[in-house]
Amino acid sequence: MLSEFRNEPNIDFKQEANITALRQALESVRAQFGKTYPMVIGDEKIELNDVFPSINPACPQEVLGYFPNGTADHADMAIEAATRAFESWQHTSVESRVETVLRVSAEIRRRRFEFCALLVLEAGKSWDEADGETCEAIDFIEYYARQMLRIADSSQLLGTSPGEHLHLQYIPLGVGAIIPPWNFPAAILTGLVAASLLAGNTVVLKPAEQTPLVGFIISELFWNAGLPAGVLNFVTGPGEIVGERMVQHPKTRFVAFTGSREVGIGIYEKASKVHAGQKWLKRSILEMGGKNAVIVDETADLDMAAQGIVTGAFSFQGQKCSAGSRAIIVDSVYDQLAAKVVKLAGNIKMGSPEQSPDNYMGPVIDNEAVAKINHYLEVGTHEGNLLLGGETLQDTSKGYFFKPTIFGEVAADAKVACDEIFGPVLALTRATDFDEALHIANNTEYGLTGSLYSRDSARLERAEREFHVGNLYFNRKCTGSMVSQNPFGGFGMSGTDSKAGGPDYMLLFTQAKSITVKA
Ligand code: NAD
């Protein structure tokens, strides 16, 4: 019997002992820099001459490790290995799967500082962000383990039939293609893998190209926890080659993807095609991007709103799918609030996250992100008034650092107000009144998160009905969902609303079998 689920508490980086522990962990991760890592397919470790580096975005010359540039053949081998392993793994008891997978959360907890250090160095996270993510990885495992135990045998939910015994079991699907993003390379990856394995599926995991090291170290924890060979296969390489083949393989039963709208839509289309020899319709669990709005009306606490807007827009450099990258402000408080937001954002401390726990903003992830953000900084200067930042980045040799940028008086249909930039760029839009603000907020293909700052209870009630996002927050920031508290997933082009960290999530990784026995 497991204890009740509890969210993992955060580390306090104001305490000297914790600062020392993280500095030591950073050193020991650094001591491993530059190693070459294999792919792991079944019980085979596969190294290739053709490798790609994982780099430190705060210092792009530093290579954390080298990973094989896998091919479509490796994806095929991995799907075959997972298919063989499924024959027995699907029949292991739920209790034994839970026991195995919970060893991983225990180990992440024990190696907390090391995981924080990895996230600081490979993803460019601040210490607090890195710790928040490590906690979330632990939470996903602990929560999904309990949910799987809850749903495995759901016979008690059925009605009765005289003279018959009725059973309802949630059984595994088969082989899953697990394709996570780089921006939560520990938590999302761990959540997708843990949910799959707890349900009795086997998987092929392909981490994002930018963050394979975190993916490898977490996979090692799963292997060391006692998974039979082939239950978790680890392949690396370009998404459009290895990932695409994983999606298209006829023996793939489901795809669990988190990433951009563009790639997600492509996966949705490709997974829907039935290939020769395929015996099922693939299930696609897709979580994608957002262009999330924070609405502030004239009744709001403006200091609270300014804080929430700045945190939502600039924490982790704006590289969260939940980031509030547009604020829609009612005319009568627009000027006052814009000034507060600019002041707060102007005080953000930036710098290499490794150097200090006080560096709130670090680098963006890679050269591609730099090019995209540079582009939108140019576009933004034509679409709004530059209120803060705005400098493009040309010399990337010292890391991919952008200052927070704020554009004011941005039209609701401007590109910087509509496109997901995925960087520290905030657009402020003036709305005549609350009605117009709500209309603008909903005027997007996305529907992931949203916030409303207001003290008007009728408006809050209206937003509850009409603000169309998967995660709606009142009088607080739109980032920072917690496992079991704020099931996370979006509407529209933000994905299939899979609600990670929520009570229905495990159903996505299972199929229901109804068994009726004549007495
Ligand atoms: P991305 O779409 O570029 O890549 C995501 C993953 O897909 C990577 O592992 C990549 O290698 C793989 N991939 C790329 N092309 C592929 C293809 N053709 N076939 C199969 N796989 C392929 O996204 P990213 O840059 O890693 O992540 C940022 C995006 O993720 C943002 O849009 C963000 O909003 C979104 N995101 C969404 C959520 C959510 O829960 N909704 C959470 C985190 C990130």
Per-residue pLDDT of the chain (519 residues; tens, 9 = 90+): 899 999 999 999 999 999 999 999 999 999 999 999 999 999 999 999 999 999 999 999 999 999 999 999 999 999 999 999 999 999 999 999 999 999 999 999 999 999 999 999 999 999 999 999 999 999 999 999 999 999 999 999 999 999 999 999 999 999 999 999 999 999 999 999 999 999 999 999 999 999 999 999 999 999 999 999 999 999 999 999 999 999 999 999 999 999 999 999 999 999 999 999 999 999 999 999 999 999 999 999 999 999 999 999 999 999 999 999 999 999 999 999 999 999 999 999 999 999 999 999 999 999 999 999 999 999 999 999 999 999 999 999 999 999 999 999 999 999 999 999 999 999 999 999 999 999 999 999 999 999 999 999 999 999 999 999 999 999 999 999 999 999 999 999 999 999 999 999 999 999 999 999 999
Q: Tokens 């933004």 correspond to what residue?
A: 380
Query: With DSSP H G I counted as helix, E B as strand and the rest as coil, what are the percentages for the chain, rounded to 5?
Result: 40, 20, 35
- Residue 266 vs residues 263, 286, 463: alpha-carbon distances, Å: 5, 11, 32
321 belongs to the catalytic site: yes
In the chain, where are the structural domains located? 16-288+497-518, 293-482
Q: Which of 140, 214, 263 to mutate to test the pocket of ligand 1 (most atoms within 8 A of CB)?
A: 263
Atom of ligand 1 nearest to the CA of 263: 2
- Cα(404) to centroid(ligand 1), Å: 23
SS3 assignment, position 42: coil
Domain covering 293-482 in this structure, CATH number: 3.40.309.10
CA distance 317 to 290: 15
Give the pTM.
Answer: 0.98
SS3 assignment, position 330: strand
SS3 assignment, position 503: coil
Q: Are strands 35-36 and 175-179 parallel, antiparallel or unpaired?
A: unpaired
Topology given in CATH for the domain delimited by 16-288+497-518? Aldehyde Dehydrogenase; Chain A, domain 1 (3.40.605)
Which token pair is 26?
Answer: 């950073």
Output the CA angle 361-365-368, nearest 5 degrees: 130
287 belongs to the catalytic site: yes
Pocket of ligand 1 (CB under 6 A): 179-184, 188, 206, 208-209, 239-240, 243-244, 247, 258-260, 263, 266-267, 287-290, 321, 420, 422, 448, 490, 494-495
Q: Work out the number of other CB atoms within 10 angstroms of the CB of residue 240.
A: 10
Task: Please name every residue paired with 426 in a beta bridge, in sequence order, or none if there are none.
Answer: 406
Q: Are 396 and 367 in contact (CB under 8 A)?
A: yes
